[in-house]
Amino acid sequence: MANRIQEQNHADISRAPRSRARGILTVLAIAVGIGWPALAQQTAITGVVKNASGEPVSGALVRVRSEGLGLGFLVVSQAQGRFSTPNLLAGKYTVEGFGGNFQSAAPGPVEVRNGQAGNVDVILSVPLQIPPREKRLTDEDYRKILPDSDVRAKRLITTWCAYCHTLQEVVSARMTREEWQQTFDRMRDQLYENRKRPLELGSFTQQQEGEAMVDYLAKHLGPDAPVDPRVAGQSLPRRGGALHPNRNWPGSLLQGAGAKYVMFEYALPSGSTPRDIAVDSQGIAWVSERSTGMLGRFDPRSLSYTRIAPPAGKGSKWQLNAVAVDAEDQVWYVDDGPNARLLRYDPKGGEFQSYPLPEYRYAVAPGASGARMTALRFWDGSIWGTGTTANRIVRLDPKTGKATKYPVPKGSEPYGLAIGGDKMIWYSAQFGNAIVKLDPGTGRLTQYKAPTPHSDLRGMAADGEGNLWAAGTESNKLIKMDYRSGERTEYSVPTEGSGPFALDVDAKRKVIWFSE
């Protein structure tokens, strides 16, 4: 779901379908009050949305899709119920309408040809088919789901594991006993070193109690243990997660600024696993394909998607992550698996340059990488990144190739990154539940705790005044922090349990954008 919040009026929110960056299979582009780029073919679909009585309906959603072309548009009917798509590629499309408590009947194909507009009216005559929203489980719900075979081990797990993150992280995991032991050891060390004094840890540090906890986890959450349907439904990307194409339609007709948008969807190749996206000065979107290693290039003018293979690395397994475009339209992205490197791509010359990331010599979670980097920013001639697994901020000087590591509290997991109005480096600590300022000159960290516990802070950006914004995925809130005073203000988003994730700022229009 893409939302915007006007800084002057925090109730001004437009609603559209949900997606999380890690799970999407499409590239989304949103236009608000601006013209859509000219495409290769001057073709569109127009029409009028009407109710069952034949009266025009304004503020209804119209979805236009072509499975064959992998294209989709979502537009809103305007005055007198009229709607019009941007220019399309020639082909066959389906047209559906959704508004209030009704939707259109099953659509037939509409064929459009180059230079010719297709025309179809949409009749809202069928009751809106939306499944009930999934209930957002709490830690108390997860406690009840876990078996009572060993009450003491269960109590220790649900107490200490919930100190850093929600119990969903535990109950949804499936690991061998060896993997659970490694996870337990790592988490215990993080608690011991950075969160609690040794005396406060009590029996959590004792070998006998630790073995009981690991035995419990391996017995009930092993690789072959079935996933409780209530748990599976909490996260769409997980196997068995609930999914319905209409599950997040608004329950009423759109009005005002919320009705002035167009959403575009482009299906990427199967198995590409898009992870992050950035746009250059020409409007070209660059996508990191996590599992293929490909850098994707999407041209909104021609609606074409091309893939660029990187140079060979140390291994054959790819694990792409953050991508960003600098002021010279150079594309930077992270290959944070076994290759552990930062790549720079020059679109004009087609050349790559590779920079090795600093090593991380300590144990990490099964399937994870010590080089994991979830955000990139440019400042003071360097590129900065969040070392999420390694608990560090990394600064790379492109001229010398030198990488500097700034350690952060172990177990805090820096995720989002921004440059504040004070020209300092700021990051969101996912498990540390804080917005943190890093002084590059001294390495000093100043921590500002999020008002809501377990906020699960993710995406982060600075607005036009230099203040910081962060998305709280678990708290279902946005946090604004004044970089001068340290004052933090939370804003609840309108959709319950939607999980704000990625976040960016349109400083010119003073608008905050985030995904749900």
pLDDT digits (tens, 9 = 90+) for 390-418: 889 999 999 999 999 999 988 788 999 99
Q: Are 151 and 210 in a shared domain? A: yes
Give the lowest-confidence range in 160-174, 273-287, 457-471. 160-174
CATH of the domain at 71: 2.60.40.1120
Closest by CA to 43, choosing from 121, 114, 120, is 114
List, for residues 106-136, the tens digit of each pLDDT value: 888 899 888 787 899 999 999 988 766 667 7
The enclosing domain of 287 has a CATH number of 2.130.10.10
Last residue within a domain, chosen from 175, 205, 232: 232
Q: Give the range of the structural domain holding residue 97, as residue numbers without chain letter.
A: 26-127
The domain boundary, picked from 127, 151, 181, lies at: 127
* 198 pLDDT above the threshold of 50: no
Could you tell me if residue 505 is inside a domain?
A: no
Q: Are strands 261-267 and 109-112 parallel, antiparallel or unpaired?
A: unpaired
Please indicate, yes or no, whether residues 121 and 203 belong to a single structural domain of this protein. no
Q: Across residues 463-475, what is the average pLDDT?
A: 95
Residue 236 has pLDDT above 70, yes or no: no
Judged against a pLDDT cut of 60, whether residue 253 lies above it is answered with yes
- For residues 468-477, give the mean pLDDT: 95
Do 300 and 393 fall into the same domain?
A: yes
Tally the domains of the chain.
3
Same domain, yes or no, for 63 and 32?
yes
Is 120 in the same domain as 143? Answer: no
Would residue 342 count as lying in a domain? yes
Comparing 143 with 38, which gets the higher pLDDT? 143
Please, are residues 74 and 147 in contact by the beta-carbon 8 Å criterion?
Answer: no
- Are residues 121 and 143 part of one domain? no
Lateral strand order in the sheet of 373-379: 373-379, 382-387, 392-396, 403-407
Q: Which of 407, 435, 468 is the last residue of a domain?
A: 407
Tens-place pLDDT, residues 64-93: 999 999 999 999 999 999 999 998 888 999
Interhelix angle 207-220/151-164, rounded to 10 degrees, is 90
Residue 426 lies in a domain: no
Task: Note the pLDDT of residue 370.
Answer: 74
CA distance 451 to 435: 11
CB 18 within 8 A of CB 516: yes
Amino acid 368: pLDDT: 64
Average pLDDT, the chain: 84
Query: Are 428 and 478 spatial neighbours (Cβ–Cβ below 8 Å)?
Result: no
Q: 323: pLDDT confidence band, cut at 50, 70 and 90?
A: very high
Identify each DSSP E strand in 16-133 by its residue range.
Answer: 26-32, 45-51, 61-66, 71-76, 82-84, 91-99, 102-104, 109-112, 118-119, 122-127
Domain co-membership, 283 together with 195: no
Within-domain flag for 421: no
Residues 277 and 402 in one domain: yes
166 part of a folded domain = yes
User: 67-76, 209-218, 441-450, 492-501 — which is least confidently predicted?
Assistant: 492-501
